[in-house]
């Protein structure tokens, strides 16, 4: 893994120039001192690794490695542990209000915890977020959840035991968020910008403006009429390779004037030392007493004097040492500001109490008038023949081949068996799952369900639509989110956590067992599996950085057969095998078109011919209807649906396309139409594209 890390001494970078509407920038680096005093560590209570912390009155709340910690800080320098709660998944950020703690947990969603009695924290709800729950903020009864590529979700938490989805908005790669008086400010990662949203109506958010940052966006906060944004990694100067001027040099703090809160205006920036490290790539900021407190992961914690916003200067720093067995310093995941101290959340280490007398005091609560929550308005689409609205979001659906039934994975609402007619969806049975039901597939009447912390569950479906559990395959401390079982059904491919593949022997559905475990660089952002065999033996999975990897399922145990065609494959894309009449080729959406290749392909993916349709950008998870030669593409990130006539794969034609406000999963073709699992919007039965085009 390539890393650039400068940790000896203190290097302050000058600002780089880039095109922006607000062209006046003050370079604070030149006026900053060449050395900065260290903030001494007063205490580390021995709780273990922490990712974030919050101060409320005399109490401190911290999270890390699936745990919530509550502590008494009436003596700010000596936190006294009061209670703990385990089982909270891949903990990332924390916000506390009205005696309730909300914990984002990436692929594990959101945990809602009662902390009114800090000695006895108790789980109230485990909420199924749209995607990787990351950033959080709270205003009145509305919780905002940043979910990377999926934007920001708004949730009604007036009853924290029963959170309710309100809306979502696609902002780009949302990392962290801050609400203030009707506006939501989003730190957007890969496109390096602040996206400002009108959030006066939580059911109908609107994008108002976008302003650039010199570095990937993340932590944001509003204080005293200014917006503060913590940035990191790539500067807008060239950064294609290590050694280029901007490589890894995007770290710093940027300040914006909010005289017009809908259009932040750039004021100044100060730069931190350059470094680049994949994995712990997040940064946050809090402001109080004219000082900004910035957690910059492996770079440490910085205190920046912002009393004169035109001329910020760094006045303190805490830098953790390199742990044994590591090649970079330990990192701070987040921080909370206390009375004369900073509570730094050490992601590999512990909570660290840092001395900051005269600088630190608790951040005042309150972020202005909260949003209103207006009545829901149903979306209209003339293609819809029937809709089904369970309590949870519908992630996936699998029809039964020889019965008018289908099984839907409905998140927190479990597995639903439905009966299908030509123009209706009728409920048959509901089966609770241990975790969120996020994927489902069938072979015959055997049902395979990915249910998060409940693992891979295997069920037998009766002709009258009842499910009987056969077994479960679980991975301690990890959730299972997606599953594919290529015929004849000896092995299941399952996506574990955010980036691990397990191949499980399910030939005996009552005794599933692990046969192969694999991981590569990148994440599983969604369904990234091939659900069929090539040449009767090979299947595949792909990571969003390291690309496509093949596995031979004809051997026992299965074995990794290589990675080809070489090259990065998009997180919103997918693989499908063409019908027998087209040989053993795979088809995939790629860079707005379609590519095809077989198992023997040796050319890099970038050299494969791309078949495009003029004026149409093809993207999404593919499903093939071999009978009609129709290809369905469902883009869960952007909500796009595209249906193609694939009679001639080299010359595809569009049959239909539209955008839905939901987050569609893979489409399931039927004889009389198709099923669209559409997240919080529900499950839709839609007319076939021939009927739609004839209207």
Domain spans of the chain, in order of start: 25-355, 384-694
Q: What is the model's pLDDT at position 571?
A: 84
What pLDDT, on a 0 to 100 scale, did the predictor assign at position 648?
A: 84
Q: How far apart are CA 52 and CA 106, in angstroms?
A: 14
Tell whether omega for the bond before 434 is within 30 degrees of 0, i.e. cis.
no
pLDDT at 224: 95
Note the residue count of the chain.
695
| Side-chain half-sphere CA neighbours of 592 within 13 A | 6
* CA atoms 566, 567, 568, 574: torsion sign: negative
Q: Please, which pLDDT band fits residue 1 given cuts at 50, 70 and 90?
A: very low
At 14, is the pLDDT very low, low, confident or very high (cuts 50, 70, 90)? Answer: very low
DSSP conformation letters of 74-111 = SSTTS-EEEEEE----S---EEEETTEEEEE-BTT-EE
For residues 629 and 645, give the distance between their C-alpha atoms in angstroms, rounded to a whole number.
6
Helix (H) or strand (E) run with residue 454 in it: none
Confidence of residue 570 (pLDDT cuts 50, 70, 90): confident
Give the rounded distance of the alpha carbon of 94 from its chain centre: 16
Q: What is the pLDDT of residue 498?
A: 85
Query: What DSSP element (H or E) covers 451?
Result: none
pLDDT at 380: 77
Q: Which residue has the tokens 């019965």?
A: 403
Query: For 603-618, how does the pLDDT look when each residue is reduced to its tens digit (9 = 90+)?
Result: 999 999 999 999 999 9
Instruction: Give the model's confidence band at 34: pLDDT under 50 very low, under 70 low, under 90 confident, else very high.
Output: low
203-215: average pLDDT:
97
Of all residues in the chain, the percent with pLDDT exceeding 70 is 93
pLDDT at 240: 59
Structure tokens at 311: 């001329």
Tens digit of each residue's pLDDT (9 = 90 or more) over 160-180: 999 999 999 999 999 999 999
The pLDDT, as a whole number, for residue 364 is 84
Is the pLDDT confidence value at 28 over 60? no
* Other residues' Cβ atoms within 10 Å of the Cβ of residue 280: 16
CA distance 406 to 105: 31
The answer to whether 13 and 271 have CB atoms below 8 angstroms apart is yes
Phi-psi label, residue 307: left if phi above 0, alpha if psi -120 to 50, beta otherwise: alpha
**Is the dihedral angle over the CA atoms 532, 536, 537, 543 positive or is it negative?**
negative
25-355 and 384-694 have identical folds: yes
DSSP string, 505-518: E-SSTTS-EEEEEE
Query: What does the block give as tokens for 69?
Result: 């910690």
Q: Which of 669, 655, 513, 477 is nearest to 579 (CA)?
A: 669
Identify the CATH class of 25-355.
Answer: mainly beta
pLDDT reported for residue 191: 94
Q: How far apart are the first and last CA of the chain?
A: 55
Per-residue pLDDT, 270: 95
Strands of 559-562's sheet in order across:
538-543, 547-552, 559-562
Which fold does the domain 384-694 belong to in CATH? Methylamine Dehydrogenase; Chain H (2.130.10)
The secondary structure of the chain in percent helix, strand, coil, rounded to multiples of 5, reads 0, 45, 50
Indicate if the alpha-carbon torsion angle 427, 431, 435, 437 is positive or negative.
Answer: negative
For 246, 416, 457, the CA distances from 460, given in Å and listed in that order, are 56, 14, 10
Helix (H) or strand (E) holding 344: strand 341-346
Q: Which two tokens stand for residue 453?
A: 């912390």
Contact 498, 90 (CB under 8 A): yes
Place of tokens 């489409």: 667
The mean pLDDT value of the chain amounts to: 91
Considering only CA atoms, which of 73, 51, 69 is closest in space to residue 61?
69
Alpha carbon distance 52, 295 (integer Å): 10
Give Cα 621 to chain centroid, integer Å: 17
Long-range contacts, 307-311 (Cβ 8 Å, 24+): 309/226, 309/255, 309/257, 309/267, 309/268, 310/26, 310/267, 310/268, 311/26, 311/28, 311/31, 311/268
Report pLDDT for 12.
42
How high is the pLDDT of residue 539? 97
CA dist., res. 412 & res. 416, Å (int): 11
Four-point Cα dihedral 678, 679, 680, 684, nearest 10: 20
**Sign of the dihedral defined by the CA atoms of residues 561, 567, 573, 576, in that order:** negative
What pLDDT is recorded for position 125?
97
Neighbours of 535 (CB within 10 A): 12
For 311-345, what is each residue's pLDDT tens digit?
999 999 999 999 999 999 999 999 999 999 999 99
Confidence band, pLDDT 50/70/90 cuts, at residue 477:
confident
Examine the pLDDT at 245 and tell me if it is beyond 80: no
Do residues 447 and 396 lie in contact, with contact meaning Cβ atoms separated by under 8 Å?
no
Residues 6+ apart with CB under 8 A from 225: 257, 258, 259
Nearest to 249 by CA among 238, 264, 259: 238
pLDDT, position 361: 92
Provide the 3-class DSSP secondary structure of residue 664.
coil
How much is the average pLDDT of 59-63?
A: 98
Q: Which two tokens stand for residue 111?
A: 């945990």
Residue 478 DSSP one-character state? B
Across 22-26, 286-290, 569-573, 590-594, least confident range: 22-26
As given in the structure block, the two tokens for residue 449 are 């369900």
Task: Establish how many alpha carbons lie within 13 A of residue 604's alpha carbon, considering only the half-sphere containing its beta carbon.
Answer: 5
């Amino acid at each position: 893994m390539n890393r650039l890390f400068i940790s000896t001494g203190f290097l302050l970078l000058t600002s780089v120039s880039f095109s922006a509407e607000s062209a006046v920038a003050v370079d604070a680096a030149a006026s900053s001192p060449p050395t900065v005093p260290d903030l001494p560590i007063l205490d580390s209570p021995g709780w273990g690794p922490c990712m974030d912390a919050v101060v409320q009155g005399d109490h401190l709340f911290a999270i890390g490695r699936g745990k919530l910690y509550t502590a008494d800080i009436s003596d700010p320098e000596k936190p006294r542990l009061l209670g703990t709660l385990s089982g909270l998944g891949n903990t990332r950020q924390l916000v506390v209000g009205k005696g309730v703690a909300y914990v984002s947990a990436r692929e594990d969603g959101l945990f809602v915890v009662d902390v009114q009695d800090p000695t006895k924290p108790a789980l109230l709800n485990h909420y199924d977020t749209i995607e990787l729950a990351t950033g959080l903020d709270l205003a009145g009864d509305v919780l905002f959840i940043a979910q990377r590529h999926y934007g920001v979700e708004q949730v009604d938490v007036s009853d924290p035991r029963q959170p309710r989805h309100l809306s979502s908005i696609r902002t780009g790669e949302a990392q962290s968020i801050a609400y203030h008086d009707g506006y939501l400010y989003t730190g957007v990662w890969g496109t390096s910008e602040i996206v400002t949203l009108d959030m006066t109506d939580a059911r109908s958010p609107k994008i108002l403006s976008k302003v650039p940052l010199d570095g990937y966006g993340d932590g944001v906060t509003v204080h005293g009429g200014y917006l503060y944004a913590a940035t990191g990694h790539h500067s807008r100067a060239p950064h294609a390779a290590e050694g280029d001027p901007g490589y890894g040099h995007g770290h710093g703090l940027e300040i914006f004037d909010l005289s017009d809160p809908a259009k932040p205006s750039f004021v100044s920036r100060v730069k931190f030392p350059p470094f680049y490290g994949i994995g712990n790539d997040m940064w946050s900021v809090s402001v109080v007493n004219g000082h900004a407190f910035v957690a910059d992961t492996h770079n440490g914690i910085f205190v920046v004097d912002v009393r004169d916003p035109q001329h910020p200067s760094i006045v303190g720093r805490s830098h953790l040492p390199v742990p044994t067995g590591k090649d970079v310093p330990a990192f701070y995941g987040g921080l909370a500001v206390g009375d004369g101290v900073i509570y730094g959340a050490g992601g590999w280490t512990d909570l660290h109490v840092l001395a900051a007398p005269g600088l630190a005091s608790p951040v005042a609560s309150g972020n202005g008038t909260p949003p209103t929550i207006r009545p829901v308005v149903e979306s209209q689409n003339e293609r819809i023949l029937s809709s089904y609205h369970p309590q949870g979001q519908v992630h996936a659906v699998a029809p039964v081949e020889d019965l008018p039934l289908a099984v839907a994975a409905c998140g927190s609402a479990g597995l639903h068996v439905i009966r299908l007619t030509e123009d209706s969806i009728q409920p048959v049975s509901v089966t609770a799952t241990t975790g969120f039901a996020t994927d489902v597939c069938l072979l015959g009447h055997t049902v395979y369900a990915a249910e998060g912390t409940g693992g891979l569950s295997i069920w037998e479906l009766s002709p009258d639509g009842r499910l009987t559990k056969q077994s479960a395959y679980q991975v301690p401390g990890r959730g299972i989110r997606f599953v594919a079982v290529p015929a004849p059904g000896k092995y299941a491919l399952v996506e574990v956590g955010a980036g691990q593949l397990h191949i499980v022997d399910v030939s005996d559905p009552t005794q599933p067992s692990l046969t192969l475990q694999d991981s590569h660089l990148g994440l599983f952002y969604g369904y990234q599996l091939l659900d069929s065999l090539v040449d009767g033996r090979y299947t595949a999975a792909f990571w969003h950085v390291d690309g496509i990897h093949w596995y031979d399922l004809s051997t026992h145990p299965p074995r990794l057969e290589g990675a080809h065609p070489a090259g990065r494959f998009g997180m919103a894309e997918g693989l499908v095998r063409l019908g027998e009449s087209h040989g053993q080729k795979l088809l995939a959406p790629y860079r707005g078109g379609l590519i095809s290749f077989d198992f023997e392909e040796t050319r890099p993916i970038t050299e494969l011919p791309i078949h495009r349709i003029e004026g149409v950008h093809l993207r999404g998870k593919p499903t093939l209807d071999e009978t009609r030669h129709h290809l369905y593409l469902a883009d869960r990130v952007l909500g796009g649906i595209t249906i193609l006539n694939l009679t001639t794969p080299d010359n595809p034609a569009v049959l239909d396309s539209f955008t839905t406000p939901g987050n569609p999963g893979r489409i399931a073709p039927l004889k009389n139409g198709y099923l669209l699992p559409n997240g919080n919007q529900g499950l839709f039965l839609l007319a076939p594209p021939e009927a739609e085009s004839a209207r």
